[in-house]
Structure 1
Amino acid sequence: MDTAGFHVDQEQGLLIRYKGHDPHVVVPEGVRVIGEYAFANNKDLYSVELPKSVTELGSWVFDRCERLGSVYLPEGLEAIGNNAFYACYNLASIHLPSSLKRLGENAFWGCIHLQSIALPEGLEEISHCAFKMCLKLKRVEIPETVKSIGRWSFSDCESLDGLVLPKGIRRISDHVLSGCKSLTRLELPEGITQIGEWSFSGCVSLGALILPKSLEEIGEWAFKGCTGLQSMDIPAGVKRIGANAFHSCTALKRIEVSKDNVFYTSVDGVLMNRSESLLIRYPVASEAVEYHIPFGVRQISDRAFGDCVTLERVEVPESVDHIGDFAFENCRHLKVVSFRNHLAQVKDDTFKKCPELRLHLGLQAFNGEDLHKVIQSHDVEPERILFPFVSVWSKVPLSRIPELKACVESDEAEIRIQYGTYQRLFEVVDTVDEKVELALKRMVHSVALTAENYEIYHLYLRNNLKKCVWHFMKRHDAQAMLQLIEHGVIHTDNVDQIIEMANTGKHAEIVAMLLQYKYEHSSFAEDKYTL
């Protein structure tokens, strides 16, 4: 039945849709449920009063009611549905009745002017993203009756400077406070066993956080970018610390672990596993300029030394077999990494953004052979173990050995590899095939690669695109073709040309890969190409 703009199913007590244009609306008595999208996208609506008979707000009820500033919610209301007040930009405050049990997903997402809200005793569930992007929300006290707080619930609440958590929760959900830039302190109640992935990432003002003794797990990236944290104490009960949990904590000077923890330990403020065979995280803000990795460490985790801008020299013992991705990324003042007589296996990006880096190797690193001879004889061992682009050096003409020696020096004590002079090799290589291979490998394996030199290699590949593509197609090198895509040499404006070349050469695997890229990034005619 339609009355004064209200479309109501009186038998079910359901308000299906409000079709009027009044700025101030009073919903008639007898309505028990406000249906999905009932007021959605109403640009005329300023205020709404709901009758005492209403017990439920459906999903998307006030979605994008951008001028809505006042809503009366009656006692008796038990549930606010998903996205109920989604992007109600003008809503500055709202009173929630004591009868409310559940806040749905995205309930107040993007209410950018919402400054305060009192959550009633009796509320049991705060669903995912309930207050995400409430940019002006300052303080929230969550009642003891709440047992579940969903992912992203307060994410990107940039003004939130106070949050009280209930004692009954057991888990800090993924991303729950990520991006809360103004949060300075938080008390985590005993009983919490898990901190989820990215839970506190980007909480740049969080100066201290005491982890409860009940804690058992810290998720991946949990404290990423918490640039105010100066120390962290890991309790005895923690069984798992996810990868990169303390990445970009630029003020972190030490990480300590309870002596009773059987899974982790701290050695001079450096986080390791209990057996001290895995170095997990070196504190970013350590003031030491030199660090000797303890003998017995066998593996260095991904990003273990990332952003340690004070470090200038690192000694790697012969016990280390493997160094992870980005392990020394952005150690921009790192001048020397010494491997002694054993070469650990490193990844392509282990030393990314280390512009001053020089590697020192013991003379026995290559079984006592002079490294120049190893390279000139096309020995594959250096490439397999250490630097994926070392074999390219063998392409330097014998007449240009001085350029090679500018990159590799050796004496009676050690071998030194200087990446900063690598550009010289590119300039003296003779053939286009060798030059495109050198350029791509240097872009992919970017140890001490400056933005200026990266652009030199990129420009050369772009200017010699056909020759570059033919070189890798002749070798059926699909991996190199994928790298050309990843680095923007092959892109949407030229992919059709490259597909035609691959199709002509009957390189089915490469054609399929290029078609997939085209399908994902541009308009696509399925019947134009055949495999």
Structure 2
Amino acid sequence: MAKVKNILSQIFFPKRLESSSHESYSGSCGDHAQWNLNPENGELRITGTGPLYDFFGEKEVPWESHLNHIRKVVVAHGITYIGFQAFSYCKSLSSVQLPDTLTGIGQHAFAYCKSLTSVLLPEGVKHIKDYAFAHCYHLQELTLPTTLKSIGKAAFCSCHGLTRISIPDNAILLGSQVFADCKSLTEVKLPEGLLQLKSNSFTGCISLPSVSLPSSVVYLGNSAFEGCNGFTRIDIPDKIAHIGDRVFADCHALEQITIPHSVHHLGKHIFSGCRSLKTLTVPFPACGTPATFSNFGELFGTTPDIEMRKISQDNETGKETNYYLPHSLSVLRILEGCEVIPSKCLMNCFVLKELHLPSSLYMMGEKAVYGCAGLKTIYCQAAEPASIHADTFGGIRFNVCRIHVPQGSTEKYKKDQHWKYFSQIEEYGTTLQAMNRS
């Protein structure tokens, strides 16, 4: 989490200019827009038509010297756009009233408005740009209009008070870090039609128990759910093609997950720090698909963790690497479609107790399951024994590990030159067979 916090702390926010010694309470803030501040009650009123200026470069925020005194902002009918940095760092701002003529919120427009507790965005708003409400720490209520089409990068990051969010179905463009570090977030409704969750979308949302991903999602960016400690499970749509690095890293409560066949890119260390993971279902390595890996440890990473078990596996260069698997990981299911388990792929995964092999499997490489001394049960779906080497199951207790095979296949396994060393080979019923194929 320290790494996550460091990333978030580096989010760029422009420094505000020094307060001018000349104080003004009214003036122009757009080609056809004016502002007026009541110094007695701290109400800033914007009137006129069209967009406000984007305040950067030589275009200074005209109420800069009053930032700490603005408590309420009222934007009148006719204004169409809140400009870049318009109200950022208004630390006393607690109330915002926006018109139905508004179509867009600019970058950093309300960033660091620490006293803002609720925002009602009117129908008509189409775009919320990068960092628009970032670091509004006490923002608790947020209403988004059905007209919304896009939410920019980190638009609501570090809104620590935000507990629930419903994103309308038109808003299918979400920027990276969009809700990162929203520590109180417990409920999220994502738009139907969403294609991508970009990097760090929900990083550090420690109270989020789950997220229902729309069936349209095909891309999960790096660290999309990293540090979501409340996750116990998540259902991944069967259209997902890309799962980036560390997507579920440090989801300490995650207990089970299934990676679908559709995945064409499977990132590294996606389960790093997942200390409670018990059951993992994966399609690796399906013949002919890019989503393959040479060793199981790559899914869990090399970050030392005293609450996880260290294992050693050979990497692609032949050098030994230490990986850290959860103590709790006991069941590994390999989905149908996998034809070959590469050499040393599951080597030394001694935390595993139950292994499910698909009917499509026809070969297991040298030392593929070597050193998995904790294995007590192997379910083989294939009627014909997969071709294995003498050391494929090296280090397994052949008199303890029980092999379950399809009906009518017992003798084939008992006569195989290598499978025959398992002393307990028995058939399972059709119900279990159907369950494992589903």
TM-score bracket, normalised by the shorter chain, equals 0.5 to 0.7
1:452 is aligned to none
Q: Considering fraction of residues, name the structure with more helix.
A: 1
CA distance in 2, matches of 1:252, 1:123: 37
CA distance in 1, matches of 2:146, 2:157: 21
Q: Which has the larger radius of gyration?
A: 1
1:80 aligns with 2:96: no
2:391 is aligned to none
Contact 2:181 2:205 in 1 (8 A): yes
2:89 is aligned to 64
1:32 aligns with 2:50: yes
Give the fraction of aligned pairs with identical amino acids, expressed as a percent.
25
Task: Deviation per CA, 1:265-296: give whole Å up to 9, x if none.
Answer: 9xxxxxxx75xx71133887xxxxxxxxxxxx
Q: What are the residue-to-residue correspondences of 1:436-451 with 2, within 5 Å?
A: none
1:481 is aligned to none
CA distance in 1, matches of 2:36, 2:188: 37
- Of stretches 181-190 and 33-42 in structure 1, the one that deviates more from structure 2 is 33-42
2:296 is aligned to 280
**Equivalent position to 2:229, from 187, 195, 204:** 204
CA distance in 1, matches of 2:207, 2:200: 16
Contact 1:254 1:283 in 2 (8 A): no
1:222 aligns with 2:247: yes
**One-letter identity of the residue aligned with 2:205:** C
CA 326–59 in structure 1, closer or farther in 2 if over 3 Å, else same: farther
**One-letter identity of the residue aligned with 1:156:** D
**One-letter identity of the residue aligned with 1:21:** P
Q: What are the residue-to-residue correspondences of 1:285-296 with 2, within 5 Å?
A: none
Contact 1:239 1:263 in 2 (8 A): no
CA 233–313 in structure 1, closer or farther in 2 if over 3 Å, else same: closer
CA distance in 2, matches of 1:149, 1:313: 38
CA 33–323 in structure 1, closer or farther in 2 if over 3 Å, else same: same
CA 320–110 in structure 1, closer or farther in 2 if over 3 Å, else same: closer
**One-letter identity of the residue aligned with 2:70:** L
Q: What are the residue-to-residue correspondences of 1:21-420 with 2, within 5 Å?
A: 21-25=39-43, 27=45, 29-35=47-53, 36=55, 37-40=61-64, 42-258=67-283, 261-262=286-287, 278-281=294-297, 303=302, 307=305, 311=309, 322-323=318-319, 326-327=322-323
Q: Using the TM superposition, give the Cα deviation of residue 33 of structure 1 relative to its aligned residue in structure 2, in angstroms.
A: 2.6
Contact 1:189 1:212 in 2 (8 A): yes
Q: Which of structures 1 and 2 has the larger relative contact order (alpha carbons within 8 angstroms, sep 6+)?
A: 2
CA distance in 1, matches of 2:294, 2:177: 32
Q: What SS is found at the alignment partner of 2:73?
A: strand
Task: Deviation per CA, 1:124-150: give whole Å up to 9, x if none.
Answer: 010001000100100000000102010
Contact 2:272 2:324 in 1 (8 A): no
Contact 1:135 1:158 in 2 (8 A): yes
Number of residues of Structure 1 aligned to a counterpart in Structure 2 = 300
CA distance in 1, matches of 2:306, 2:319: 16
Task: Deviation per CA, 1:335-386: give whole Å up to 9, x if none.
Answer: xxxxxxxxx9xxxxxxxxxxxxxxxxxxxxxxxxxxxxxxxxxxxxxxxxxx
CA 87–33 in structure 1, closer or farther in 2 if over 3 Å, else same: same
Q: What SS is found at the alignment partner of 1:75?
A: coil
Contact 1:252 1:283 in 2 (8 A): no
**One-letter identity of the residue aligned with 1:49:** V
Task: Deviation per CA, 1:380-435: give whole Å up to 9, x if none.
Answer: xxxxxxxxxxxxxxxxxxxxxxxxxxxxxxxxxxxxxxxxxxxxxxxxxxxxxxxx
Q: Using the TM superposition, give the Cα deviation of residue 320 of structure 1 relative to its aligned residue in structure 2, in angstroms.
A: 8.3
**One-letter identity of the residue aligned with 1:62:** F
**Equivalent position to 1:8, from 28, 35, 45:** 28
CA distance in 2, matches of 1:102, 1:20: 30
**One-letter identity of the residue aligned with 1:64:** Y
CA distance in 2, matches of 1:137, 1:236: 35
- Of stretches 97-106 and 254-263 in structure 1, the one that deviates more from structure 2 is 254-263
Q: Using the TM superposition, give the Cα deviation of residue 53 of structure 1 relative to its aligned residue in structure 2, in angstroms.
A: 1.0
CA distance in 2, matches of 1:44, 1:216: 50
CA 324–183 in structure 1, closer or farther in 2 if over 3 Å, else same: farther
Contact 2:270 2:299 in 1 (8 A): no
CA distance in 2, matches of 1:47, 1:255: 51
Contact 1:175 1:200 in 2 (8 A): yes
Contact 1:93 1:115 in 2 (8 A): yes
Contact 1:308 1:330 in 2 (8 A): no
Task: Deviation per CA, 1:137-173: give whole Å up to 9, x if none.
Answer: 0000000010201011100000000000001111111
Contact 1:217 1:238 in 2 (8 A): yes
Contact 2:241 2:264 in 1 (8 A): yes
- Of stretches 31-40 and 184-193 in structure 1, the one that deviates more from structure 2 is 31-40
Q: TM-score, normalised by structure 2?
A: 0.62
Contact 1:7 1:19 in 2 (8 A): no
Task: Deviation per CA, 1:310-333: give whole Å up to 9, x if none.
Answer: 65886x69x9862465535999xx
2:363 is aligned to none
Structure 2: segments with no counterpart, 5+ residues: 1-22, 56-60, 328-343, 345-438
